[in-house]
Structure 1
Amino acid sequence: MSAAQMPLAVGLAAVAAGAIAYVVLTPLMSGEKRAAKRRQSVSMVTSPGSRAATVNRREQVAKSLKEIDAKRGGTKVTLELKIARAGLTWTKQKYYVVSAIMAVVVGLAIFVITSNKIATLAAIFAGGFGLPLYVLSFLRKRRINAFITELPTAIDIITRGVRAGIPVGDCFRIISREAEEPIRGEFRQVVESQTLGLTLGDAMVRMYDRVPVSDVNFFAIVIGIQGKSGGNLSEALSNLSRVLRERKKMAGKIEAMSMEAKASGGIIAALPFIVATLTYISSPDYISLLWTTDTGKMALVGSAIWMSIGVFTMKKMISFEV
């Protein structure tokens, strides 16, 4: 090969090497670019998309809560609702009849004891209006306490049923057949409401109207959100059951710690009656001046009012809510 042909050969070799490199490296570079694009697209899907899904989930939950609060806020506490909260099946007419009987009985008792017309009228008013409402309040509190005691067990039954693949409605039917009262009656009303066409969330809102405590409120919110927005119902109910049991334990601890204060308040409130009884036994003519003279009657009324204020104040001081 002559000297004049050497540059031409070197140039041709360089061009051939460049062509080979282009043919070999171009697919590799394009593959890396495509891989980079795929990674970028995947990162865009997993990061902004997941955040968008989270925001959407929160918006759905907030909307569900607003709907539940709107349905609950319009409930008016009527006489029928008070009777239902007490666990009674009375009608309004039966309630009025029972109130009239109580008014007559209390009025006659006070008239026989005092022979005072004003005291008899006051007793009739108290027996006809105050005493029936007090009975309803007492029955309502007792029923709510029994319901709160059994509610975590019912929630555990639903949790196990959902994890086993049983529908929520069937879990409610199991509780309505096999649980203790008042859980059984309340869940039966929920099942009957669903049979009439109500959704489970609306039926739970009605349960909260009949049992107006925070535990039932939490339960209704969990069921309502799951029905509208979806989610892991078994995990949510499991957490709710644990929270309710912890609240029950805390209430028991507070009850035990406040027993001394309640015992002291009871002793202080009972002292005037104990002293009056002992004085009447030992010296009846001495203490009878309190109800045989006008000054004594005024003193009795003033003492009763003042003592009632003290009793209510002590009760407020030693009552704790969890």
Structure 2
Amino acid sequence: MTVPGQLVFVFGIVAITAAVLIALVVVFKPAGGSVPMERRRPFGNPDQGVLTRITEATVKFVETSLSRRAPATSQSTSLLVQAGLTLPRADFLVLAAAGTLVSAVVGFILQGAGMALLFAILVPVLARVYLSVLVSRRRSRFGEQLTDTLTMISGGLRAGHSVLRAIDAVAQEANEPTATEFSRVVNETRLGRDLQESLGDVAVRMKSDDFRWMAEAIEINREVGGDLAEVFDQVGETISERAQIKGTVKALSAEGKLSAIILMALPILLLVFLSLVNPKYMGNLFGHPVGWMLLGIATVMMAIGGFWVHKISDLKF
């Protein structure tokens, strides 16, 4: 098969994979917002296809297994919740498993068992990296909005509102993700949960020491009293100064982080490119025990190098 023919074949496989993933996404609709199927069709849905019944049964099985192994309190601190996604955990796991299976089949067709194993490992890793990136961005936005959040709460307290009413005002007027997190605090408090526990969960999900200080200030004020608005003003000034220092450190370390990303991605992209352009040349690497040993050594060395560069560029202050 010539190189253009191989590219057309690869494009067809990618198109089929994308179609399957889109179909799975359509099947796995996010929870919330719409009326449940049981309420719209109380006598069942006899028109469901085989694929729909299989996916629903699989999702229910995974959801039951997760509920048995993990406590209910862990759902509030899961990566999906931290990333701000409304997709249930069971749906995400089934979707990731389906993507892994399809990628493994594509890799087996292209190169054989070696490429199938590589793709099967790569898809879950990419899914975890995708969630980590969403969580990191969401936490960063939350930290950037925290100064304005404290200003809004302080203004509400000076206007004579209670702490919960001031938090409710922030939930209605702030941007994402602050609005979602504060709405969760208000809803949990109205259902009977202690305000301090809800604020503590927000601090854990966002990994924000500044917000933890705010929660501790509210708790101290509930016990001994005092001018909470003045405390929030001082905390807001401290957070603003720390944010300026953090921005300076981030700008100085950006070059090192970009170099680490390029150095880590270049060997992987080169491996995929050579496998597509000249499969016979790369077949010797995947079809021999020495090749697998070299791939393992390269993976370990890249992991050590990436961890080293990350520690060098991740400055603490």
User: How much has 1:160 moved relative to structure 2?
Assistant: 1.8
**Aligned match of 2:238:** 243
User: Hey, what's the Cα distance between the residues in 1 that align with 2:290 and 2:193?
Assistant: 64
Shift of the 271–167 alpha-carbon distance from structure 1 to 2, 3 Å rule, reads: closer
- Deviation (angstroms), 1:121: 4.7
Q: Deviations over 1:27-47 (max 9, x none)?
A: xxxxxxxxxxxxxxxxxxxxx
* Cα pair 2:111 2:283 within 8 Å, conserved: no
2:299 to 304, 312, 317: 304
> What is the 5 A alignment of 1:124-273?
124=120, 127-128=123-124, 130-266=125-261, 268-269=263-264, 272=267
Q: 1:210 to 1:133 in 2, by over 3 A?
A: same
Q: Residue 83 of structure 2 aligns with which residue? A: 86
* 1:171, distance to aligned residue in structure 2 (A): 1.6
Change (3 A) 1:141 1:282: closer
Compute the displacement of 1:191 (Å). Answer: 1.4
C-alpha contact 1:150 1:183 (8 A) present in aligned 2: yes
Question: In the superposition, relative to structure 1, how do residues 135 and 241 fare at CA in structure 2: closer, same or farther (>3 Å)?
Answer: same
| CA 1:202–1:308: 2 relative to 1, 3 Å | closer
Unaligned runs of 5+ in 1: 1-74
- TM-score, normalising length from structure 1? 0.65
RMSD of aligned C-alpha atoms?
A: 3.3
Shift of the 284–131 alpha-carbon distance from structure 1 to 2, 3 Å rule, reads: closer
Q: Is the 8 A contact 1:201 1:227 kept in 2?
A: no
Which stretch of the first structure deviates more once superposed, 234-243 or 222-231?
222-231
Residue 122 of structure 1 deviates from its aligned partner by 6.0
Give the AA of the match of 1:106: S
Deviation at 1:310, TM superposition (A): 1.2
Indicate the structure (1 or 2) with the bigger Cα radius of gyration: 1
**Structure 1 residue 104 displacement after superposition:** 1.6
Does the 8 Å CA contact 1:193/1:203 hold for their aligned counterparts?
A: yes
1:74-113 pair list within 5 angstroms: 78-79=74-75, 81-82=77-78, 83-113=80-110
Bigger mean CA deviation after superposition, 144-153 or 77-86: 77-86
Deviations 1:109-135 (A, max 9, x none): 32233211x65356435535x444333
Please tell me whether the aligned partners of residues 80 and 92 of structure 1 are also in contact (alpha carbons under 8 angstroms).
no
C-alpha offsets along residues 289-312 of structure 1, whole Å, 9 cap, x if unaligned?
544655444333322322222122
What's the TM-score, normalizing by structure 2?
A: 0.66
SS at match of 1:306: helix
Cα drift, residue 285 of structure 1: 8.1
**8 Å Cα contact 1:107/1:127 also seen in 2:** no
Q: Give per-residue Cα distances to partners, 1:76-107, cap 9 Å, x unaligned.
A: 98355212112122323223322222222332
- Give the Cα separation in 1 of the matches to 2:148 and 2:184: 18
How far is the alpha carbon of 1:279 from its aligned partner?
8.9
Q: Is the 8 A contact 1:158 1:171 kept in 2?
A: yes
Native 8 Å contact 1:172 1:187 kept in 2: yes
Partners of 2:105 and 2:277 in 1: how far apart?
30
Number of aligned residues? 246
1:258-311 per-position Cα deviation (integer Å, ceiling 9, x unaligned): 233334444544665688799999999877754465544433332232222212
Q: Residue type matched to 1:219 in 2?
A: M
Contact kept in structure 2, 1:262 and 1:318, CA below 8 Å: yes
Amino acid at match of 1:84: V
Cα offset for 1:221? 1.0
Percent identity among equivalent residues? 27
Tell me, in whole angstroms, the C-alpha distance in 2 between the residues paired with 1:208 and 1:291.
Answer: 46
Please give the alpha-carbon distance, in whole angstroms, between the structure 1 residues aligned to 2:170 and 2:273: 54
Aligned structure 1 segments of 4 or more residues deviating by more than 6 angstroms: 273-288
Change (3 A) 1:112 1:240: farther
| Shift in CA distance, 228/106, structure 1 to aligned 2, threshold 3 Å | farther
Does the 8 A contact of 2:142 with 2:177 survive in 1?
yes
Q: Label 1:227 to 1:272 Cα distance change in 2 as closer, same or farther (>3 A).
A: same
1:164, 1:108 → 2: CA distance? 63
CA contact (8 A) 2:111 2:279 kept: no
Does the CA-based 8 Å contact 2:256-2:309 persist in structure 1? no
Unaligned runs of 5+ in 2: 1-70
